[in-house]
Amino acid sequence: MTTPLFGPVIQLGFVVPNIEAAVAHWASIGVGPFFLLEHIQFGRCHFRGRPLSIDMSVAVGQWGTVQVELIRQHCDTPSIYTTFDGSTRGGLQHLGVMTTSVSDSLARLAERGVEPVQAGETATGIRFAYVNTDELTGAHPGGMIELIESGPAIDEFFSLVRKAAVDWGGRDALRKLG
């Protein structure tokens, strides 16, 4: 049996043209509630090796054991969100997996030709890297993998999202944070 290069998928990341409309859709099929993080601040971020400054917001909700992340980039700056095939209409852009170390994972993946496309950390220190799995032979749009490094800030946020979904009755589908 071959060991997968990545842990289990914990997140489906969709680029959407309108977060509120996307939340309404997902809530109508019982997924939620969603927590909105507006105009996320990055400590550092790079896209294809160059510094990146973007204005984006996300809403995150829970669907059973999987998160649904809705991403809206507010500017036209080239990034993984604006350059993927479904960027105009919206669609599945990435699959998120957890890792104990983004750096260690990237070193291990480099041996197999898997490289970071966009990487960095938020102002709160949450480290991430999106890798080029959607560009490899036989891949397709939506097949990009995001490595999400576990740590106190992200673990606490993901726990909040999971707990809110337990017995959620469909009210207050979109909740603003910070």
**Could you tell me if residue 129 is inside a domain?**
yes
Which domain, by its residues, includes 117?
A: 9-17+37-56+72-153
**Could you tell me if residue 177 is inside a domain?**
no
**Could you tell me if residue 89 is inside a domain?**
yes
**Could you tell me if residue 144 is inside a domain?**
yes
**Could you tell me if residue 29 is inside a domain?**
no
pTM passes above 0.85: yes
Cα(15)–Cα(35) distance, integer angstroms: 16
**Could you tell me if residue 110 is inside a domain?**
yes
3-class secondary-structure state, position 68: strand
- The one-digit pLDDT tens for each residue of the chain (178 residues) are 677 788 899 999 999 999 999 999 999 999 999 999 999 989 999 999 999 999 999 999 999 999 999 999 999 999 999 998 877 788 999 999 999 999 999 999 999 889 999 999 999 899 999 999 988 888 877 789 999 999 999 999 999 999 999 999 999 999 998 6
Reference 130, options 145, 148, 141, 120; nearest CA is 145
User: pLDDT value at position 178?
Assistant: 64
Cα(58)–Cα(80) distance, integer angstroms: 14
User: pLDDT value at position 73?
Assistant: 96
**Could you tell me if residue 64 is inside a domain?**
no
Which CATH number belongs to the domain containing residue 109 in this structure?
A: 3.10.180.10
Tally of structural domains, the chain: 1
